[in-house]
Amino acid sequence: MSKLWGGRFTKKTDQLVEEYTASIMFDKELAEEDIQGSLAHVAMLGKQGILPLTDVERIQDGLLRVMNRIRRGELEFSVSDEDIHMNIEKALIDDVGPVGGKLHTGRSRNDQVATDMHLYLRKRVVEFVGMLVKLQEALLGQAKANLETIVPGYTHLQRAQPILFAHHMMAYVSMFGRDAERLQDSYKRIDMLPLGAGALAGTTFPIDRHFVASKLGFGRVYENSLDAVSDRDFIVEFLSNASMIMMHLSRLCEEIVMWSSTEFQFVELDDSFTTGSSIMPQKKNPDVAELVRGKTGRVYGNLVGMLTVLKSLPLAYNKDMQEDKEGMFDTVKTLQGALQLLAPMISTMKVNKDRMRQAVNQDFSNATDIADFLVNKGLPFRQAHEVIGKTVLYCIQNQKYLLDLTLEEFTQFSKLFDENIYKVLQPENVVNARNVYGGTASNQVADAIGRAELEWQKTQAWVESFAEKSK
């Protein structure tokens, strides 16, 4: 069969050109969205009297048969038919005859493909918010189980001050909460219908774009036909949000890799989320965490690639924009894999509370509290800082920790020290002294968990509301 657009041409397309310009190898991912958009479009053509209802019914029935063939894996896609739109239209014409060619009345592949991607990303964004909710749930579970577990807090990867492990987990709950908010906010810019913009200028047929939007559940319709077919902001925004999520996942995974090492021994990952070595039988490798960390780079690359494709494009549609899909699909797949694995990996992670406590007892992360103790005695902070610096140096030189010092040793450095210093230096008291909003004190962390659970419930309800709509 000749090209569906071949009337103007006198020669066949060179085979290399067909292979180079075809997108069916990857845009077949949009098959269901393409048919979904076509069903709404042809319903509108019937409503507006542009097509007879008998033709509409035949086309709709044919489209549903084509969809079932695709779902069963029975439809063989062809490079010679270029893309998913032409492959489906050809399959439809083969099924219902020439009347299938009426489906394309009042539209172009330009507004058709844009609609497909809006439909595709709209669904994915809701799914990703749901996955972030599950990851937050796993982190909240670890936080609630470790409200009394004290661990060294770090800056510059040097032990800084003791904190609750629950407080550390809640930092990631906050990060992923912002990620979910960004996705939710982006939804309104994805939830826009381009169909009806035609190739770039609209159409001469009396179409009803708002009817199509209603059929497809879109909240808004693009105001400008040029913008409708050339806009890929919503994809760039998704890739940016995905990059942010992967960055947060990578930070968490980096810590998991360190914490599960022999040097830290803070956590142990479940066997089902680790792998072994082909030569060293003792190894238990955190491959999942490492791969999430590694795959972050490809998501960043997809964002930069998309921005580069768009940076000099004149209005409206250009073939360059075919490059918008592979990176988007790859990012979706990469993010899905990471989020699906991280939630159960976190929830099954064993926390070595004793090892964390041992680490806290064998460092100088309570030094700031001694300075604060002297400040409360009236010594200026800068002088107190110097006193404690000398005290720590003395401990290092004598292979002691601060709690090992006698009161006599303390008073060598300041006469303001008294017996209360030993109470101040206890890790529990160091932690609970940070009793400020957002601090690591146990009551503050418990309150933070409560607030986070309320936000978690709201986000979960947002996801569930779309599940209800799709029924």
Q: Which residues are catalytic?
A: 156, 277
Measure the CA–CA gap between 37 and 41, rounded to whole angstroms: 6
At 459, the amino acid letter reads T
From CA 266, how far away is CA 359, in angstroms rounded?
9
Angle, helices 31-47 vs 209-216, to 10°: value is 140
DSSP of 166-202, one letter per residue?
HHHHHHHHHHHHHHHHHHHHHHHHHSEE-TT-TTTT-
Q: At what angle are helices 109-145 and 165-190 packed, to 10 degrees?
A: 160
Residue 214 token pair: 């209603």
Q: How far apart are CA 125 and CA 183, in angstroms?
A: 6
Strand partners, 221: 193
CB count in 10 Å sphere of residue 254: 14
Do you find a cis peptide bond into 316, omega within 30 degrees of 0? yes
> 112 and 321 in contact (C-beta within 8 Å)?
no
Residues 106, 203 contacting (CB under 8 angstroms): yes
Residue carrying structure tokens 């103007």: 8
> What span, in angstroms and rounded, lies between the C-alpha atoms of 26 and 22?
9
Helix (H), strand (E) counts: the chain: 19, 6
Q: Helix H segments across 162-313?
A: 165-190, 209-216, 225-230, 233-259, 287-310
